[in-house]
Amino acid sequence: MDESARLADRERFEGALRATGRGGVENVLNELGRLGFFEAPASTKFHLAEKGGLLRHSLNVYDQARLLRQVECRVRPDLAERLPEDGVAVASLLHDVCKADVYREELKHRKVGGRWEDYVGYAYDSSSFPLGHGEKSVIRLLRWGLEMTDDEMIAIRWHMHAWDLADSPEARGSYGSASDRCPLLAILVAADGLAAHIQEAK
């Protein structure tokens, strides 16, 4: 991704987040800048493993979530009040702030056309603040002073459902309760999956 595209993405991200009118937004943006969110990749080798990939992924999830909200509110008009546009924006734009400072550039090797070559890739290291994934995002946002609703916190916390539920009956129960009470969670899970596995697929 070239620098001009990344700057345009950053402007769009900041504008969409400010448009929510939430208290604490400016501090959140400052902290994201300090932690390298706007330059970070979205993954080490999967979707958008490139500079600015995390920012682009967040915008892709935001776009998908807004479309899903429109469709679901058309089918179920009563959901509009439970799926406010600002809540969809907060949850989708900020669901992965836990990744802001966990990727490090490192020299890697790959075989291309029968010959080995060096390239700069990414390694993942969460040891500086090991709090998990969704819960780390929520904790960071609250510590930074962002005004959040319960549904936004629930959606961000549980958006990694398939990985969070692997070995824990308690987690499965909590996820089931969260899904029953929070339609925003279903929107975020679907938007994240569509963005990562379809929109951003190699």
Residues 6+ apart with CB under 8 A from 166: none
> pLDDT averaged over the chain?
90
First vs last C-alpha separation in the chain: 14
Q: Quick one: how many helices (H) and strands (E) in the chain? A: 9, 2
- The reported pLDDT for the residue numbered 162 is 58
Cβ within 8 Å of residue 11, ≥6 positions away = none
What's the pLDDT score for residue 166?
A: 56
Give the confidence band of 164 by pLDDT, cuts at 50, 70, 90. low
Domain coverage including residue 153: 3-100+130-199
CB 122 within 8 A of CB 101: no
The reported pTM is 0.90
Number of domains in the chain: 1
**Within a domain: residue 11?**
yes
Task: Name which of 187, 184, 98, 181 is nearest 134 in CA terms.
Answer: 98
Is residue 149 domain-resident? yes
Distance (Å) of CA 46 to CA 25, 33, 50, 191: 30, 23, 10, 17
110 in any annotated domain = no
- Residue-wise pLDDT tens digits, 71-114: 999 999 999 999 999 999 999 999 999 999 988 888 888 888 88
